[in-house]
């Protein structure tokens, strides 16, 4: 079975229209997850927790894509696949 690791992280952005963090030292690392579904649930919980701050954003990084640099990138997995 292929392990598909995902990292959930976020923080306050300089501008909500862009993806540059205001202070990289303050990036919140939510955690590493073994599949997209659990990463998505963690992302959603943090996004909902910070919904009142328009400058806060959370992201899901597909770490498994970085492990094999020779392989072509795959499309984002859909929840439930």
Which CATH number goes with the domain that contains 38?
Answer: 3.30.70.2400
Tell whether 77 is covered by a domain: no
Do 79 and 37 touch, CB atoms closer than 8 A? yes
Structural domain containing residue 32: 6-67
Is 79 contained in some domain? no
> What mean pLDDT is predicted for residues 61-71?
73
* pLDDT at 40 (0 to 100): 97
Question: What is the tens place of the pLDDT at every residue in 1-44?
Answer: 667 899 999 999 999 999 999 999 999 999 999 999 999 999 99
């Amino acid at each position: 079975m292929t392990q598909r690791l995902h990292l959930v992280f976020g923080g306050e952005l300089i501008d909500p229209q862009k993806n540059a963090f205001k202070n990289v030292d303050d990036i919140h690392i939510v955690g590493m997850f073994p599949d997209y579904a659990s990463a998505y649930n963690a992302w959603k919980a943090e996004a909902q927790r910070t919904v009142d701050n328009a400058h806060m954003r959370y992201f899901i990084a597909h770490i498994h894509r970085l492990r094999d640099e020779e392989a072509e990138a795959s499309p984002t997995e859909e929840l439930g696949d």
